[in-house]
Amino acid sequence: MPKDAPAKPKAAASRIAKTELVDRVAAETGLTKKQAGDAFDALIDAVIKGLQNGQSVGLPGLGTRSVRPTAARTGVKPGTSEKIHIPAGKKIGFKVASTLKDNL
């Protein structure tokens, strides 16, 4: 593209940041932004602690997060095509709530 060509317009943001979520919660509930932010942080901490303890964490209307085991497997190292061992581990899974699915 030539230097003097107009820049392409940026696409609209496809992500809602924490600050916008906090602003929306504050507006809907009448809480201050500080209180809404503290509540948001407490929710995130509770989700993390639940997952660390091996619990499934349900968020009504959104879905359920859970820790799922992954099996050990053989992978291929990029570039060298050397076979490597990938140990068993854990991943976080998410099952979408049917109410959310139905509303999209």
One domain for residues 45 and 78? no
How far, in Å, CA of 51 to CA of 97, rounded?
18
How far, in Å, CA of 103 to CA of 15, rounded?
18
Task: Give the model confidence (pLDDT) of 16-50 as tens digits.
Answer: 999 999 999 999 999 999 999 999 999 999 999 99
- Structurally, how many domains does the chain consist of? 2
Task: Give the model confidence (pLDDT) of 64-82 as tens digits.
Answer: 999 999 999 999 999 899 9
One domain for residues 42 and 65? no
What is the dihedral sign for C-alpha 38, 42, 43, 44? positive
Question: Residue 100: pLDDT band by 50, 70, 90 thresholds?
Answer: very high
CATH number of domain containing 63: 4.10.520.10
One domain for residues 67 and 88? yes
One domain for residues 102 and 67? yes
One domain for residues 64 and 42? no
Identify the pLDDT of residue 60: 94
Give domain status of residue 95, yes or no. yes
Give domain status of residue 62, yes or no. yes
Identify the pLDDT of residue 71: 96
One domain for residues 33 and 67? no
Give domain status of residue 77, yes or no. yes
Count other C-beta atoms under 10 Å from residue 76's C-beta: 10
Give domain status of residue 91, yes or no. yes
- The structure tokens listed for 65 are 């997060």
Domain that includes residue 50, residue range: 15-55
Identify the pLDDT of residue 23: 96
